[in-house]
């Protein structure tokens, strides 16, 4: 019998690397920041359907906390590896126009959600949020505080992604005064040859100065983003980057797999494919990172996230409270997620909705006095069931079958008979254990959690017309 109480405890190995199994099962698949995934959103879902979802919350007198995502799409320069929705321009007047429209959207959302829950989570992403000047950021934060009721600093989680090349020590202190208490730094790799190959020259001293400033300013959490599989990366260069990252001692580390999809992301066409590590070396790089970070005392949270044992993410996972949303792993994904800005995705009630992806479309909708919702989806009961199931597996690496049967009017073994049959192959490979009341992912299976969750994804057996699945998703490992 498997000991479930120990599955997130310190005596239990968090993750095991098995190159043969990973090589065998590596395939394209979703990251499950939502279920259904964004490629399943429909154009029939628009502004009216979003208003209906909010009206439903108000009718039920929802007091769930609010989470707010703000998308700033601008960057000064292009990083060749990037797959984000961004606009590269040195014309900063474009940001002033964008901010005028963004404030309109914030006003509209603030009125819609007035009198509901407090805002407990804020995340600025991009692009490069620090593309905005200090004055513009201060003005935008004041606007947000006027539109929403923020929880106190000690309770709320208010985070911003920054490019260390765009901020001074003084700016870091200013961001803290403006209300941010968590900061995430894009590093990717410290090696000069790798930085040159991806057009992101970022001296280590510059990055360390920003980290030190964030500590001095009183930020509650400092996170670093790394990428493995970049051009010119070697085992030696990655070892040296990890030495520097571990010495910097961040609270969280996100280790992303570089997905080379030049047919989707134009900047990646500037990367020379012969400079990319081979699939075998890429797996070795991943194994090295996991080994070094775990040896340095970081807890493997899941997917691509590591955190110190006393970090909120690690604590939430131990207590079974970890969630997953569009920003990745979260301690507050039970909130209603309101997202503002071009291409941003909201999760309100049993719906997802995405804004216009172009500035022109975004501005046009707001000029009409409408929220810029362009597509979305209303979740059916089957979607809600599978969303919870996938969420539990992604966050806790185990699933109580009894708890699912208590929450939904189903017999698990009958409803998921096909899926349980498919899981047998994973069980034979030692990736999970299926018992009458539990499905438990083993340490060897944790790196392949996306593959396991794909078994429960009803939409993967319904390919969209004219779309080949491998083109839509990155590799699971």
Binding positions for S-adenosyl-L-methionine are 69, 81-83, 126-128, 161, 188, 200, 225, 259, 345
Which residue is associated with the tokens 């319904």?
462
259 contacts 205 by C-beta, under 8 angstroms: no
Please state the residue numbers annotated as binding site for [4Fe-4S] cluster: 75, 79, 82
The dihedral through the CA atoms of 322, 303, 258, 456 has a sign that is negative
* CA distance linking residue 205 with residue 203, whole number of Å: 5
- CB half-sphere exposure, 91, CA atoms < 13 A: 5
What phi, psi does 365 have (nearest 5°)?
-60, -45
Beta bridge partners of 28: 475
Question: In this structure, how many other beta carbons lie within 10 angstroms of the beta carbon of residue 35?
Answer: 24
Annotated binding site: 69, 75, 79, 81-83, 126-128, 161, 188, 200, 225, 259, 345
Residue 132 and residue 135: Cα distance in Å, rounded?
8
């Amino acid at each position: 019998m498997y000991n479930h109480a120990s599955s997130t405890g310190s005596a239990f190995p968090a993750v095991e690397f098995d190159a043969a199994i990973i090589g065998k099962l590596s395939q394209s698949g979703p990251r499950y920041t939502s279920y259904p995934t964004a490629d399943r959103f429909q154009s029939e879902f628009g502004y009216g359907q979003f208003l209906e979802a909010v009206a439903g919350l108000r009718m039920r007198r929802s007091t769930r906390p609010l989470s707010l995502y703000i998308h700033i799409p601008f960057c000064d320069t292009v990083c060749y590896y990037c797959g984000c929705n961004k606009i590269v321009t040195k014309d900063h007047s474009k940001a002033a126009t964008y901010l005028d429209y963004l404030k309109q959207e914030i006003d509209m959302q603030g009125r819609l959600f007035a009198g509901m829950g407090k805002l407990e989570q804020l995340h600025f992403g991009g692009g490069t949020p620090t593309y905005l000047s200090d004055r513009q950021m201060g003005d935008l934060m004041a606007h947000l505080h006027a539109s929403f009721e923020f929880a106190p600093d000690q309770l709320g989680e208010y985070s911003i992604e920054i490019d260390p090349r765009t901020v001074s020590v003084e700016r870091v202190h200013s961001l803290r005064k403006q209300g941010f208490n968590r900061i995430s730094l894009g590093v990717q790799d410290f090696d000069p040859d790798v930085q040159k190959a991806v057009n992101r020259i970022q001296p280590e001293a510059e990055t360390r100065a920003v980290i030190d400033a964030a500590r001095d300013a009183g930020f509650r959490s400092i996170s670093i983003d790394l990428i493995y599989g970049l051009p010119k990366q070697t085992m030696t260069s990655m070892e040296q980057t990890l030495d520097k990252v571990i010495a910097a001692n961040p609270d969280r580390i996100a280790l992303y797999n570089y997905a080379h999809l030049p047919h989707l992301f134009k900047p990646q066409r500037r990367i020379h494919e012969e400079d990319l590590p081979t699939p075998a070396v890429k797996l070795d790089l991943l194994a090295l990172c996991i080994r070094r970070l775990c040896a340095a005392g970081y807890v493997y949270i899941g997917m691509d996230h590591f955190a110190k044992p006393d970090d909120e993410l690690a604590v939430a996972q131990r207590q079974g409270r970890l969630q997953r949303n569009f920003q990745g792993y979260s301690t507050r994904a039970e909130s209603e997620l309101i997202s503002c800005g071009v291409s941003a995705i909201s999760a309100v009630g049993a719906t997802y909705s995405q804004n216009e992806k172009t500035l022109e479309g975004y501005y046009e909708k707001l000029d009409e006095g409408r929220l810029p919702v362009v597509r979305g989806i209303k979740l059916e009961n089957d979607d809600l069931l599978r969303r919870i199931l996938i969420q539990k597996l992604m966050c806790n690496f185990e699933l109580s079958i009894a708890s699912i049967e208590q929450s939904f009017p189903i017999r698990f073994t009958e409803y998921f008979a096909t899926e349980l049959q498919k899981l047998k192959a994973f069980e034979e490979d030692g990736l999970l254990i299926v018992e009458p009341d539990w499905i438990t992912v083993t340490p060897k299976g944790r790196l392949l959690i996306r593959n396991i969750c794909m078994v429960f994804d009803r939409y993967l057996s319904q390919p969209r017309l004219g779309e080949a699945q491998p083109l839509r998703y990155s590799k699971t490992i």
